[in-house]
Amino acid sequence: MKLNIALLAGDGIGPEVIDQAVKVSDAVAKKFNHEINWTPALTGAAAIDAVGEPYPDETHEVCAKADAVLFGAIGHPRFDNDPSAKVRPEQGLLKMRQKLGLFANVRPTFTFPSLVDKSPLKRERIEGTDLIILRELTGGVYFGERGRKDNGNTAFDTMTYQRFEIERLARKGFEMALKRGKKLCCVDKANVLEASRLWRETVQAMEKEYPDVEVSYEFVDAVAMRLIQWPKGYDVIITANLFGDILTDEASVISGSMGLMPSSSLGSDVSLYEPIHGSYPQAAGKDIANPLATVLSAAMLFEDFNLKEEAEAIRAVVNKSLAEGVVTEDLSEGSKAYKTSEVGDWLAVNI
């Protein structure tokens, strides 16, 4: 197979972790006789510095033409705490999601046998957790009208959902559930929000198309609680953009290491793969960041092109590195800490 992949390293530790994912992907490609064509493009603060725009048109063209996008992270501290900044790296992220039509953010949450005890949660609560949160990514309050009134003394944001947006997200959810635990939980705030009532209505109407999937409806506040109390109770969760933002980050605590959690953002034409950790500026340039989340995001990419053995090979070598202690300082616990690049090299050689 020939794959054209747009490579958006972004800010902070982005470039370093992306490098390792490229090494590992190239090694897999070689082993299984595929050809990967990487096309780098600018995004985030790096793009603002270069061309004044966090998601430049040239970058969009590269992504739109590619078979998939591998993404690092964006964000830079000099834009934080500056509510008045006109151009912010995050805007690039939102623009990218919208222009590429990345409507479904897929975030698996699972535990690694060798790392279960690193979680702030007790082992018996989390061991065997295997859930997916499917977050709507191009609608809701992220993209509704917003502004100020009354000389700036009143601010508003509009949370809007259209039936088709909910339907296409829910359809992905039902289909994923069918291939997994056959349980779908729609998370909303239907006791308050009209948009949530439309979510519930829409999903309820689809239930009969998927008689084998057991569907439940829960309020977001209750789920924020239950996710921690008993994550094993969930299989596939579907939810709106803002709720998904909060719940996916919350769920990332379960595994005990953000540095390990991959994600994908699915569009109709092209999809994007990225680690869920951010740009982690404190570690940038030090060759100490954990590259595994990005490497595992590449595994999700292969899987989506139906290259299951390839994906499995990546996951297997990641597990091997964890078992043998070839890990960065966040996981080394007093033993030798490997550099980001050393972990990448080791994975590429051992695949």
The torsion angles phi and psi of 295, rounded to 5 degrees, stand at -60, -40
Read off the DSSP letter of residue 227: H
Select from 173-181, 206-214, 245-253, 318-326 the region that touches a second copy (CB under 8 A). 245-253
Residue 149 buriedness (CB in 10 A; 0-12 / 13-18 / 19+): exposed
Question: In the stretch 32-71, what mask flags binding to a second copy with x, by CB under 8 A?
Answer: ----------------------------------------
250 binds a second copy (CB under 8 A): yes
CA distance 302 to 318: 15
CA distance 119 to 130: 15
* Residue ranges of the binding site for substrate: 97, 107, 135, 221
* Residue ranges of the binding site for Mg(2+): 221, 245, 249
Please pick, from the candidates 1, 64, 115, 141, the single residue that binds a second copy as defined by CB under 8 A: 141
Residue type, 80: D
94 binds a second copy (CB under 8 A): yes
- Any catalytic annotation for residue 269? no
Would you state the structure tokens that stand for residue 226, as one six-digit string?
Answer: 């239950």
- Any catalytic annotation for residue 117? no
Please pick, from the candidates 90, 309, 312, 333, the single residue that binds a second copy as defined by CB under 8 A: 90
Residue 120 buriedness (CB in 10 A; 0-12 / 13-18 / 19+): exposed
314 binds a second copy (CB under 8 A): no
Structure-token match 């279960």, residue found: 116
- Any catalytic annotation for residue 345? no
Instruction: Name the active-site residue from 19, 23, 55, 142.
Output: 142
CB 56 to ligand IPM: min, Å: 18
Compute CA distances 225 → 117, 248, 250, 268, 325, whole Å.
21, 13, 10, 33, 33
Read off the DSSP letter of residue 217: E
Residues tagged active-site: 142, 189, 221, 245, 249
Q: Which residues bind a second copy (CB under 8 A)?
A: 81, 83, 88, 90, 94, 120-122, 125, 141-142, 144, 146-148, 150, 152-164, 189-195, 197-198, 200-201, 217, 220-222, 224-225, 228-230, 242-243, 245-250, 252-253, 258
